[in-house]
Structure formats: C-alpha cells, structure tokens
Structure 1
Amino acid sequence: MDRNVVIATILTALIMFVWLWWLAPPPPPPTTAARDSLQQEDTAAQEVIAQEEAPTAPGAPLLAGPLNDTLLAAARNGRARTITIETDLYEAQLSTKGATLVSLKLKKYKQYDFETPVQLVDTTKPGALSLVFTTPTNHLVDTRALYFRTATTADTIRVADEPVEVAFEVPVGDGRIRQVYTFLPGDYEVRLRVEQEGAATFSTIEGYELVWNGGVPFAERDRDDEARHSGAFARSGGELEKITLDGQRTEEKRLAGQVDWVAVKNKFFTAVMIPSGETRGAELVGERLGEPEDPSYWEDYAARLLMPRPEDGQVDEFRLYLGPMEYFRLARYDLGLYDMVDYGWDAFEWMTRPLAKFVFIPLFTLLGRLLGNYGLAIIVFALLVKIALYPLTRASFRNMAKMRELQPELEAIREKYADNPQKQQEALMKLYREKKINPLGGCLPMLLQWPVLIALWQYFQQSLIVRQQAFLWAKDLSAPDPILHLPFKIPLYGDFVAGFTLLMGLSMIIQMRIQSASTPSNPQTKILTYVFPVFIFAIFNRLSSALNLYYLCYNIFSAIQQFWINRSLEKEKTKAAVDGQGDRRAAQKAARKAAEARRRKQARTRR
C-alpha cells in the first residue's frame, strides 16, 4: 500500500476518533452548584395542592401563596375529571384540573420493549401544558393548580372525519381564562386558543407564559445516547437556539423579542409550540437528574413562550406539533423545525445537512417504500452511493498505480538528495510534473468522500424511518444488534458483541488485503490491515445496526470495486506491454529491411 493510502487511512482513523470524542459527554460538574430553576412552576403548583390538603387551625394566619389571592377564590376547589381523545395516531388525556395534557400516547410507535406506546408527557408532573402569570398582588399562578369547567360531558371522544374542540374555562377575579383545544383527524397537530377576559384585573402588565413542562420522556433502551440527542430548542431571528445539558447539571437560555417556535425533544419525538401572533421572547430551561448509569436517570426540560398581556377580546392562537421527528411532516411548517436534528460540526454541517435533507432522506424513503424492507433499502442505498463515488475511486486507484510505478525513481531521488531536503523536494515536484501525476491524487478523493460519510453517520444514527425496523437478526435497525452478551462491561465497547459490527470489521480486513495485494510489501500497512478494523470494531459496537449494515455493504462493494479496478489496471498494463513488444518488433523488422536495402544498394554500386 503506498504512502498516500497510509496517510488517508490515518486521517480517517483520526477523524473518527475526534468525532467520537466530541460526541462523548464530558464529566459532570459538582452538584452543589446546581440550580433548581426548572422546578419553579411545578413547585408553585405543588404548594397549592399541599395547601388544599393541609388542615388549617382556627384563627391561624393564611399561608402565603396563590390560593390566598381572592382573585382565585372560585378556582380553589373542584373535582378533577379526565377526558380521553382518540385519533388514529394517538390517545390524549386532558384533565379539568389545569386544563392540561396529562398523557399523550402514540399508537404507531412503541418504546424499546416493542409493547409500551411512546409517551410524550411526563406523567410524574401535574400536566404538560400550563399558563403561568403573576397577579397584581405578586402571586405566581400556575394554571395546573386551578380547577376548570368544561361543557364536554363525554369521557371519551373519538376524532374521525372532522376536527373536535374541547373547551375549558375558569373564573379569575372579574375575568376568566378559556382554553380551547382542537384535535385534527390524521394529524399530530393540536391547535390551542387562549382567551383571557379582563386580563388586566388578574395579571400584571408583563403578560403570561405558555409552558411545556417535563420535556419528552425517554423511549429508547440506551438512555445515555438518547440524552445526547435530547434538549430544548427555539427559533429566533432565523437562528436555532438550544440547550442540551452536555455534561451540565442545569442550563437555561432566555430570548427576547419575536420567537417563531419553542420545542422539547428526545431522540425521535418532539413537542413544539408555534405562536400565531407576537411574543415577548422565550425561555429554555434544563436540569439533569441522576447519572447516566442510574435506572432513574432523566433530563428534565421546559420550554416557555413569553406572551404579552392580551387586550379584551384578543385571542392568542397556537399550533402544537406533538409527535415523531418525521422530516416531511416537520418540513410542511416551513419553520426549520427539522434543524433540531444535529448533523455534526459546524465546519461540515453546511454540506451534511443539505445532503441529508435533499438526497438521503428522499432517496432512502423511496427505496424503503419500493422494496418494503429497510434492510434491503440500506443495501441498495450503499450500492448507489458506491456507484456515485466510482469516478473518485477509479481516479484514486489510477493515481496510486502511477505512483507505484514511480517508486524506483522516487527512491533514487531521495537517496541522491538525502542531505538536501530542498533540492529533494524540487526534484520530486519536477518528476511529478513530467509524469503528470498529482501526489495528493491518491488520498484527496478519499477525503472528499468524508462529508457524505459523516452525513450518513448522523442520518442513520437519528433516522426515525429505521426505528424498530427488523432485518435478519437485528430487531431494531436504529439500535445495536447484539448476537452475544458478555458477563462484563468493557469501557466504550459495552457488554455485548454486535453482529453487523463484527461483519463490518471482517469486511474491512478483506478489503484492505485486496487493496494491498497489488502493492509492495510494507510492514506499516500490514499492521494497519489488522489494527484499523479492530479499532473500528471497538468504537462502532454501540452504534445503530443500520449504520453498521451500511458500512458493511459499503466495504463489500468497495472490495468488489477494488478487485475490478485492479484487474482492469493489470489488463491495461499487459496490453501496453504487448503493444510495446509489437512496436519493438515492428521497429526491428523495419531496421532489418532498411539494412538489407542498404546492403543491396552497396552491392549494386560495387558492380
């Protein structure tokens, strides 16, 4: 294997190592500095609940809190009732206490156990949605602590062909708050109208907040991996803002002015709030609870839309997208919602994101629908990628073949100018120009493939379309495919052996042996032939089986291409040698004829 291949291989390993190091979460800071700002609204709601349940001694002073504000006297007591909304896509539950979502289960998506529906609401909290405002007497009010009334009498409502509205209302002082949910058939969008009559009598000039509490619960087996893809997001001024708790206990970000949307998400599912009118800004808050290795590990997020106080008769409208991170569903909003999906370093993202959005996603979706199996789609996809990159691969191998032929001359120049590096470099460049060879032509085409490979790396790691899709022994192409469980855990590797990762490592060995078959023996390259596949096998073991299946097929097709190109180059070399021999024979024959003609001419002259 010539030096260019060695350089390209080392650069490949270096890029992968740095990439994985960048993905790994840093160690957490001391917990004593953590700030429990995420619990502000939940604490207010729980304090109200505690006040309702705690006995009050006669003559004792009233506890300071929202319920002691006379504005909320009519909302202090009531009976919570749950209303179930069923559509083809999900089952939602609304509680009259807080007029909030207390559950939303997706029917078409299951958790890692393949049985439990994916839940978008943190059921440990009083509810997901709430309005938060401050009264003129400086009491913080979270509507999840208030009892609303509703005219809906049915406990279960089925959404069939027409949208269904469910309205809640609560009196507040001389005014009222009215929240109206509209559930659409065949859609993950829920519309929300917020009407506040007499808002000036029960809230300050600052207005109110529409809050999504609790983030989106984890749904995958690998919580550490899912946490890396979870966070709270907002779009302001055309830019994506986010917090992701990369090794931090708490984090928050406050935005001022107009905000297009706010959202929380885990790896594959999201809850988005899109305002139709003006906003005062937004606030994103996150807190990490526990450690990644703990069964109770959790990352808690809240997304808040800061809304101005409405005028009498004004209605604030919101669109809520509560569902999977499906590209085509999110793209129809034309608000950059899919930008929440991370496609790597900013240095590469200007290429990797367009490749994923406009090439990989449409093509892979089409292949999946045509073939009916996403494992087969991955194989065909890898073949198409290799065909598309064939001109680069062919140019790379041809350039390396020319470099191999030049090795004797290159070594002679290095020995001749061993004590003068400057002259040695000048002589080498002169030889390259004479032979019309680019010394970087062997590795540059390989490096040009990296934006494509990195985009595929990120796409398969976060592609909802392969989630819980089976192929051969892999039950879920979005997760590893263990074929052997170990009685111990190896750091960075895990406690299992993944099947497609093992095959991928073997395919790399075969590919590199084919590649080195036509090159001079080199101890360094022999070491790389075995060390590099082992290194890849170790770091890829915990990645998605879809990614490993893709690289397995990619390596197999690369080996076939290399074998074919090597044979073609050998045939061309043999043909050139035969043609050269023919030319020499023709020249020799012509020379003999010329010599014979001269002898005859000389003989005639002597006569």
Structure 2
Amino acid sequence: MDKNTLVGFVLIGAVLIGFTFLQRPSEKQLIAQKHFQDSIQALAKKDTANKAKAAAFTDSVAAQAVDTAGTFYNAAKGTESFTTIENDLVKLTFSNKGGRVYSAMLKKYNGQDKKPLVLFDKEDVSMNFFFYNKKEKIETKDYYFQAVNKSDSSVTMRLAASNDSYIDFTYTMHKGNYMVDFSIKANGMLDKLSPSVNYVDIEWNQKLRQAERGYKNEGRYAYLMYKYDGADTDHLSEAKNADASITGRLKWIGYKTQYFSSVFIADQDFEKNVLKSSLETEGSGYLKNYSSTMTTYFDAKGSKATNMHFYFGPNHYKTLKAFDAGKDDANKLELDKLVPLGWSFLRWINKVFTINVFDWLTGLGLSMGWVLFFMTVIVKAVIFYFTFKSYMSSARMRVLKPQIDLINQKYPKKEDALKKQQETMSLYSKYGVSPMSGCLPMVLQMPIVIALFMFVPSAIELRQQSFLWADDLSTFDAFIQWNQHIPFVGNHISLFCLLMSLANILNTKYTMNQQDTGQQQMPGMKAMMYVMPIMFIFILNDYASGLNYYYLLSTLISIITMVVLKKVVSDDKILAKLEAYKSSDKPKKKTGLMAKMADMQEQQERMAKERDRLKAERLKRGK
C-alpha cells in the first residue's frame, strides 16, 4: 500500500467519526425517544390483551351456542351419584352418569374373601348408548340421568331434555330371579331425535374378575359367548386374544367365567355385532377383557319400547334352563349353553343322567365329597355290564395262552409272522373267541367317562365345598407349593392328582398282567402304557380337585372290580366252556371283525405268493 492510499483511508475514517459525533442526539432527544418507545410497547401489550379477551369471548359465545343447541344441555353437567335396587338374590347399583349398571353383587355366593361375590364394580364395566339427530350424536356416557319412580326392586334412570321430553332407562328385578328387565323408551322426543333412525348403537365393555383360586383352570371356562337368533351358540377363543364381526342377528351376548356370567339379551335382537376378547395378566385380579358393539331397534317416536334383559348370576344348568320353560323352539334363549357339558351326545348324557343323579344325591343332604363318591359308584354300576364283557373277553384269551405259546414256539422267525398270525386266528375261531370283542364294551363306556370329565368342573355346587384335605373341590388341592413357576407343573402339586396318577399306574400294571394272552406286542408298547398315567400329573395338576377325586375313586373301584372278578370267575370253568364249544357240532362261523381279519390274512397270503412267483420268474430270466 503506497503513502497516498494510506492517507486516503485515514481521512475517510476521520470523516465518518466526525459525522457520527455530530449526528448523536442530545440528552433531551434521548429521553423523548425512550418515552415514545415505551408508549409503543404499552399499546402493543394492550392490543394483545384485547385480542385474547376477544378470542376468549368468541370461544365462550361459541361454546354457549353449542351447549344451548345440544339436545340434553341441561344434563351435561352434574355430580355422580348412585342408586341401589335389589331382590333376594342380586344387589345392583346404578350410576346417574350414563344411567348404567355400576355394580352387581350376588348375595348367595361368596368370593375368595368370603364376602358376597361382586361380579363387577366401578371401572370394571362400562355401557354407552348412541342416539342420533340431524346435528349431533348423543352418547349417554356424557350425561347425568335422574333416578325417578324408584322402588326396592326397580328404578327408572331418566335423561331429560325438558320436563316433557326425555328418554327413560327402566330396570326391573323380580323375586327369586337373576334376570333383570331393561327397557328404553322415548317420550316427547320426536322433534329432538331423528325419526328416520330406528336403531340405537351400544358399546358394552367388562373386565372379568378372577373369582376362583386357579387362574389357569378358571380361564379355561371363561370366554365371550353369543347366540344366533334361531340357531346355535358360539364363542370366541378362551386361550388367546380374539375378535369377530358378525353380520347375522344375535339373541344374546354373554361374558362368562367358570361359574358366573353377565348376559345382555335383546328381544328385538342385536345386529352389526363386533366382539372382542383379550387376555389379562395372571396376578392382575382379572381373567379377560371383553368388549362388544352392536345395534338394536329403537323407536324415536316413543310408540314402542326397546325391551332387553340382563342376566347377572351363576352358570347353573337348571336355573338357566328354566328361562325356556313354556317357550317354543324359535323363542328359546338356550342360556343353559353357558354351562359346558360337552357336545352332542355327551351333553345329552349329562342333561338326562348325570345332572339328575347329582341333584338327587345333593338333595339327600350329603357333603359334596360323598356325593361324588356315591355318584362314582352309581356310574360304575351302570357301566358294569360293559366292564364284565371286556373282562370276560380278556379272560378267554388268557386261558388260551398255553396254546398261543406253542404257536409262538412253532414260528419263531420273523418271516413266518403271517403263518403264525393265521394259525393264532384259526385257534381263536375254533374256540369262538374274538380278540376285538373286549374293545367294543370299552368304547361304549367311554362317552359316560368323558361326560363326567365335562360335568364335574362345571358343577357350581362344588364351589368352595371342602372334603378331606381339599378346602375347595372346584379348584386344585395344593399340598406342596413353591414360588417359582415350573413349565407343565406350575407352582404346586395337587395331592388328589398325584394319588390318582399312582392309582392309574397300579391299575395299568394289574390290567396288563391280567391281559397277558401270549401274543407279541409292539416294541415299547408296555412302556407306553405307563406314560399316560404319568402324564396325568402334568395335565390334571391344576384341574379341580373334585375331578381328580372322581378319577381316583373310579380307578380304585376298577381295580377292586378286577380283583373280585378274578376271584369269582374261574379260569378253569372258562376253559371248559371253550373246549365244549370247540368239541360241539355247531359250525364255527366267522362273523364280523374275525371274518374281515381272516379275509385280510388270506389276501396278504395271496399277495405274498404272487410276489414270490414274480421274483422266481425274474431270477429264471436272469439265468
């Protein structure tokens, strides 16, 4: 940079500094400027405040306009209060918020705390109804109802638009009955509701409380159930989260546990049904979480009421069956399907035989332990004919064992298996013995055995009834418990289950000894016969102790029966009868399964000969 350029920059800087100094405002000018800025800021703050007030006023006016335009604006505010009605069986509490059932308590049954059992309470349940007009959707959960026309067993919850316009929810209970009548009726609402909308939408949610000691066992019988109008019942899965959209008409929807149910019934049926079921965590105090949305008839003109019903009570077969008394098939509710008695023929056995015998024994004043004892004896007596037939079939084959052993010695090689089988079947035919004749009696008695398996866990009479060391026959009897959960076992060992399994092992050993006919069995078959009794420990450990007690009694009676038959029925007499049959002139006719087996053996023999012939021809051509 040269000297002239440097001098130029210095002069420019001096000019700028001098200009800035000369343009600086005086002290009076600074005070005036500050006052002006403060005034501007004050005006800005005032303007902002005015705008906020204006917005608030606008919102208030708008809100007031919406509120005053609402059909039930007078019911939009209030304080929640409760109303109680009851009969000799059920106590119901209603909330004025939504006009809904708030709590249900059953007087004749106790919870695990030994106090009257509460099906649901407070936030366990919610019910919301949707009504419509041209401007709004009215949800009853947002409004406060008035309790009017109250008596000990009935109440009307009224949602009022005015003194002359309202919707009534009327609940009526009856003495000695778990059913609650429920009706919805409009009055003077023609100009406030859409007359073209002839339905009401409903939302119903409930968390099912765990009422029994065994979460897993109770959960098996807890599921959302529903009945089609004029058809059968169905249910969502009890083992996993599930949902279903049902376009067909439903007569009722039921939220059931093992022994109790909440059922919602519509005289005009439910339509557009969406049902959901989800599992609750063990230890939460709940089993399942159910929800349903549906639609049913509603007359906004008020000329006809919407009639529905609630059932809050036990899953007791005869109590539920009584609701269908005198009704034709088309109008039957079939609430008795809430009691799982098995399918088709099994359910018929339980309805006709098991329940009536059980009620008869209960009516004698016996404790539930003795009721199960005598019931087992009666069942064993009923199926004794089949048991005897099965035993005699095994006994006939057993007394022929020495001759079967000779046949086995005659054909020791594997390639002679077909000849050995043919000679064995020929021997049985000569003596009039069928190896399969003992199977049919066993098959015929199985339906009764399986029917009892379905009935005992469903018998609410066993609930909280003690016997011997079991304090509750409706759940497991844990004589050993621990804190950690072990897969397939849980956190306890049930004594009745353990004794039942040991009794079955003993029965298996004794039966196999009695049925030793000399015929060769498949490798490992004997070992397999002991697997099932051992598996009982893992399968039935958390089932009802009453069920394991029944199976223990049944097994012990079976062992005693076999021992007595062994003493009474002489093997020598059986053999003498067989020899007499063999020596008689009666034709030894092959019938039934024996004939089919003989035909199969002959066919196998022909096929074997054909294979040998073809093989010989191939060898001959090869040479």
Q: Pick the TM interval, shorter chain.
A: 0.7 to 0.9
Alignment partners' CA distance in 2, 1:172 and 1:288: 38
Alignment partners' CA distance in 2, 1:58 and 1:365: 73
Q: Counterpart in 2 of 1:436?
A: 432
Once the two structures are superposed, the pairs formed by residues 457-472 of structure 1 within 5 Å of their partners are: 457-472=453-468
AA in 1 matched with 2:434: N
Q: Counterpart in 2 of 1:479?
A: 475
Quote how far apart the aligned CAs of 1:464 are.
Answer: 1.0
SS in 2 for 1:439: coil
CA gap of 1:328–1:303, structure 2 versus 1, over 3 A, is: farther
Task: State whether residues 374 and 471 of structure 1, in contact with CA within 8 Å, keep that contact through their aligned partners in structure 2.
Answer: yes
Alignment partners' CA distance in 2, 1:340 and 1:360: 17
CA gap of 1:309–1:489, structure 2 versus 1, over 3 A, is: closer
Please state if 1:380 is matched with 2:368: no
Identity between Structure 1 and Structure 2 (%): 26
Quote how far apart the aligned CAs of 1:441 are.
Answer: 2.0
TM-score with structure 1 length normalisation? Answer: 0.75
Q: Counterpart in 1 of 2:388?
A: 394
CA gap of 1:513–1:129, structure 2 versus 1, over 3 A, is: same
Q: Counterpart in 1 of 2:146?
A: 149
Q: Counterpart in 1 of 2:134?
A: 136
Q: Counterpart in 1 of 2:87?
A: 87
AA in 2 matched with 1:143: T
Residue by residue, what CA displacement relative to the aligned partner does 1:224-246 show, whole Å, maximum 9, x if unpaired?
A: 33233222222214333444344
CA gap of 1:463–1:216, structure 2 versus 1, over 3 A, is: same
Q: Counterpart in 1 of 2:8?
A: none
CA gap of 1:79–1:365, structure 2 versus 1, over 3 A, is: same
SS in 1 for 2:217: helix
Q: Counterpart in 1 of 2:245?
A: 253
CA gap of 1:533–1:336, structure 2 versus 1, over 3 A, is: same
| Greater alpha carbon shift after TM alignment, 86-95 vs 382-391 | 86-95
AA in 2 matched with 1:339: K
CA gap of 1:199–1:455, structure 2 versus 1, over 3 A, is: farther
Alignment partners' CA distance in 2, 1:407 and 1:137: 91
AA in 1 matched with 2:58: G
Once the two structures are superposed, the pairs formed by residues 134-533 of structure 1 within 5 Å of their partners are: 134-137=132-135, 139=137, 141-152=138-149, 158=152, 164-172=153-161, 175-197=165-187, 201-203=192-194, 205=197, 207-214=199-206, 216-257=208-249, 259-276=250-267, 278-279=268-269, 281=271, 283-288=273-278, 290-291=280-281, 293-295=282-284, 298-310=287-299, 311-334=301-324, 335-344=333-342, 349-410=343-404, 416=411, 418-419=414-415, 426-518=422-514, 520=516, 527=527, 531-533=531-533
Alignment partners' CA distance in 2, 1:422 and 1:497: 49
Task: State whether residues 479 and 545 of structure 1, in contact with CA within 8 Å, keep that contact through their aligned partners in structure 2.
Answer: yes
Residue by residue, what CA displacement relative to the aligned partner does 1:226-282 show, whole Å, maximum 9, x if unpaired?
A: 23322222221433344434454341332334x332222111111222333x33525
Ranges in structure 2 where 5+ consecutive residues have no aligned partner? 1-54, 325-332, 581-623
SS in 1 for 2:232: strand
Residue by residue, what CA displacement relative to the aligned partner does 1:534-572 show, whole Å, maximum 9, x if unpaired?
A: 222232211100101101110111111000111122x35
| Greater alpha carbon shift after TM alignment, 354-363 vs 194-203 | 194-203
CA gap of 1:465–1:247, structure 2 versus 1, over 3 A, is: closer
Alignment partners' CA distance in 1, 2:359 and 2:577: 50
Q: Counterpart in 1 of 2:29?
A: none
Quote how far apart the aligned CAs of 1:365 are.
Answer: 1.6
Q: Counterpart in 2 of 1:119?
A: 118
Task: State whether residues 287 and 300 of structure 1, in contact with CA within 8 Å, keep that contact through their aligned partners in structure 2.
Answer: yes
In the alignment of these two chains, the number of paired residues is 507
Task: State whether residues 339 and 458 of structure 2, in contact with CA within 8 Å, keep that contact through their aligned partners in structure 1.
Answer: yes
CA gap of 1:219–1:579, structure 2 versus 1, over 3 A, is: closer
CA gap of 1:243–1:63, structure 2 versus 1, over 3 A, is: farther
| Greater alpha carbon shift after TM alignment, 536-545 vs 412-421 | 412-421
Quote how far apart the aligned CAs of 1:138 are.
Answer: 5.3
SS in 2 for 1:500: helix
Q: Counterpart in 2 of 1:99?
A: 99
SS in 2 for 1:449: helix
Task: State whether residues 215 and 232 of structure 1, in contact with CA within 8 Å, keep that contact through their aligned partners in structure 2.
Answer: no
Alignment partners' CA distance in 1, 2:68 and 2:399: 90
Task: State whether residues 220 and 239 of structure 2, in contact with CA within 8 Å, keep that contact through their aligned partners in structure 1.
Answer: no
AA in 2 matched with 1:501: C
CA gap of 1:233–1:578, structure 2 versus 1, over 3 A, is: closer
Which structure exhibits the higher relative contact order, with contacts defined as CA atoms closer than 8 Å and separated by 6 or more residues? 1
Task: State whether residues 103 and 121 of structure 1, in contact with CA within 8 Å, keep that contact through their aligned partners in structure 2.
Answer: yes
Quote how far apart the aligned CAs of 1:409 are.
Answer: 4.1
Quote how far apart the aligned CAs of 1:378 are.
Answer: 0.2
Quote how far apart the aligned CAs of 1:484 are.
Answer: 1.6
CA gap of 1:298–1:391, structure 2 versus 1, over 3 A, is: closer
CA RMSD in angstroms, aligned pairs only: 3.3
Alignment partners' CA distance in 2, 1:308 and 1:511: 61
Alignment partners' CA distance in 2, 1:563 and 1:108: 45
AA in 2 matched with 1:319: H
Task: State whether residues 457 and 547 of structure 2, in contact with CA within 8 Å, keep that contact through their aligned partners in structure 1.
Answer: yes
| Greater alpha carbon shift after TM alignment, 197-206 vs 393-402 | 197-206
Alignment partners' CA distance in 2, 1:212 and 1:373: 40
SS in 2 for 1:460: helix
Task: State whether residues 106 and 117 of structure 1, in contact with CA within 8 Å, keep that contact through their aligned partners in structure 2.
Answer: yes
Task: State whether residues 395 and 514 of structure 2, in contact with CA within 8 Å, keep that contact through their aligned partners in structure 1.
Answer: no
Quote how far apart the aligned CAs of 1:576 are.
Answer: 6.7
CA gap of 1:442–1:576, structure 2 versus 1, over 3 A, is: closer
Task: State whether residues 122 and 128 of structure 1, in contact with CA within 8 Å, keep that contact through their aligned partners in structure 2.
Answer: no
Please state if 1:71 is matched with 2:68: no
CA gap of 1:183–1:530, structure 2 versus 1, over 3 A, is: same
AA in 2 matched with 1:190: V
Alignment partners' CA distance in 1, 2:183 and 2:577: 83
Alignment partners' CA distance in 2, 1:482 and 1:206: 56
